[in-house]
Amino acid sequence: MKNNRIQFFTRLFSVILSSIIIVSCASIGTPSGGPRDYTPPVFKKSNPTPNQTEVKSKKLTLEFDEVLQLDNPSENVIISPPQKEMPKIKANLKKIDIELIDSLLPNTSYTIDFGSAIKDNNEGNILNGFSLAFSTGKTLDTLQISGTVLNASNLEPVTGMTIGLHPADNDTAFTTLPFSRVTRTDLYGGFSIKNLAEGRYKVYGVIDADRNYMFNAPTEDIAFYDEIIIPSAEVTTHTDTIFSDSTRTVIDTIMTHSTTKFLPDSIVLFAFNEGQKPLYLAKHDRKDREKLTVTFSDATKKLMKLTPVNFETKEDWSIIERNVTNDTLTFWIEDSLIYNLDTLQVIADYLKTDSILNIVPASDTISFIYREGPTSNKNSNSEEATQSRRRRAKTDTIRVESLELDKTISGIIDIFTTPAIRFEAPLRELNKDKISLKTIADSTWVNVNDWSIDKDTLSPRQYIIKHKWEFDKKYLLSLDSACATSIYGLSNDSIGLDFKVKKSSDYSNLYIETIGVQSGAFAELLDTKDTPVRFATIKNGGAEFPFVKPGKYYIRLVIDSDNNKKFTTGNFKKRLQPEKTYYYSKLIELKANWDIEQTWNVFEKPITKQKPYDLIKNKPKKDKNKPKPVEEDDDPIYSNRPSAKF
């Protein structure tokens, strides 16, 4: 009996001990207590060793000083020369195991660039920029180049762009062959291509969605460098003197150090998209009986033509309304015999892109189906809805059936505003003689003579009011009853819209002197979200922005090579770079009733340091728990922060 008890407790102790060991082994965590670890993993050794030559094995192992993890290695680990088959890469406690699937090329230098993929298991501290190099031949190529990629239109650092090289004598390689050497831009838009052989190269970049290491899809963002690159190395020496006493008079030791500088090290690529987007009919619907709506994937230059199939009508049986972006068309149907049909079948003729993004004509049969229900518009202009409203009007002495505005003018407007009114349906007739614009003079409303009201070019329902508005003036736009009649027979009630223009003292005036740029460019006033709010042409070395709302602004300048008053993208086939863009690197704060003049030497500051830090959207996330560095700015490309007022 006693022996049984001993055996029982022995087994119980063994089970408990085993459980403790299993739990301990299963959890690799941070030791409790003590300061937080901010150190990334430290490389210890590898097979093959760094820079080893005559490597034959396709299996590689790297070992570090702590347990680590790999962040999305298929995306973040770049192998050069690029691999056709995805290698097997995995983390195993303190080790990284790599198995290359492709055959090793003879007499070739390989670089495995881990980017920001390696981080420790506990705190996620990233080992940035770590790479391993080896060669299958007797020597290892050691040259390298580096630079930065910026978005051409707004100087944003471009993250994750594949940067590659081709021999300089092959002009078509970018669109026909994979890169010979490759890397990827980091969180700051920076890149470095290592282990290069001597030679003449051309540098390219591509957002390589299909991972084929070439530019073969017109929708891909790309970059190319105009100049031929010749990698080189420059060895420099400097001397340090160590003194033997505090008076710094007795020399103890003189030490000479040598460093190798690889050139070029400041290449700047400007990324752009050629703007060749797929164009296709995205959707069509009929939420209201009298309206057919079609939406395209992108702006369409030619209006769609609808030919009736299951109904007969005159040729011009609809009125077309376009939205501002030209990708949505609304067809207003006037004839009640047509819009009272639940199904309207038409042949739609329009333009679309084919598989290689050429614009080609297309023709489809489309059915527009109207369904009663919660999706239908209760304020529809259809005959059924119109008759219903008229019946209600007979018994409702308060509500009178009329054509209404769904966009009006009211309150206080800006001096440069172009006011507009919009009716709820297209008009059959507008009697301009029954519309007046008045202003107050000597406490009396008087007619304004030099003004106009014209139909908008996009919307047949909208009318633009044009006049040279005066500061601090009150205006009254009056529409007599029945001056407007819709295509559905409804007329308006008498309408009066009063508004006032801001005072001149409510604004600020800004003049920018652009040293280095006399003309052939334009400047944009940007808000704090990098959105243009005003435009000015550079004339005689300056740009003028009169009557600006008080606030905080930035300035962007574009060299307008084609003089079309907008940023023009590049074209690789024509070897055209995108237009050059520059930023004034300081914040400009405008106050009411202030006139401000500012001088800007456009080319004085390096392009990589021009965009104000506060405007940059593509900033790496900072670890708030990490201590701040001694230097306020340790980011390589963001040394222009903080923004400063002038």
- Please report, in angstroms and rounded to a whole number, the separation of the first and last CA atoms in the chain: 94
For residue range 369-399, what is the model confidence (pLDDT) as tens digits? 999 875 445 444 544 555 544 444 444 444 4
The reported pLDDT for the residue numbered 389 is 47
The reported pLDDT for the residue numbered 255 is 74
Return the CATH architecture of domain 506-615: Sandwich (2.60)
For residue range 601-643, what is the model confidence (pLDDT) as tens digits? 999 999 999 999 999 998 877 655 555 544 444 444 444 443 3
Q: Does domain 43-135 have CATH number 2.60.40.1220?
A: yes
Quote the percentage of the chain above a pLDDT of 90. Answer: 74
Q: Which phi and psi angles does 370 have, rounded to 5°?
A: -100, 130
- Give the pLDDT mean for 158-184: 95
For residue range 310-360, what is the model confidence (pLDDT) as tens digits? 999 888 899 999 999 999 999 999 999 999 999 999 999 999 999 888 899
Domain pair 143-234+267-271 / 405-502, same fold: yes
| Whether the Cβ atoms of residue 541 and residue 627 lie closer than 8 Å to each other | no
Q: Does domain 405-502 have CATH number 3.30.200.20?
A: no
For residue range 51-104, what is the model confidence (pLDDT) as tens digits? 999 999 999 999 999 999 999 998 899 999 999 999 999 999 999 999 999 999
The alpha-helical segments, DSSP class H, found in 51-109 are 73-76
Q: How far apart are CA 19 and CA 13, in angstroms?
A: 10
Assigned fold of 281-384: Immunoglobulin-like (2.60.40)
* Domain locations in the chain as residue ranges: 43-135, 143-234+267-271, 281-384, 405-502, 506-615
The reported pLDDT for the residue numbered 502 is 97
The reported pTM is 0.83
**Which H or E run includes 344?**
strand 343-353
Mark 292-302 as b/e (b = at least 16 C-beta within 10 Å). bbbebebebee
Assigned fold of 143-234+267-271: Immunoglobulin-like (2.60.40)
Within 8 A by CB and 6+ apart from 287, the residues are 293, 375, 376, 377
* Closest by Cα among 330, 327, 324 to 299: 327
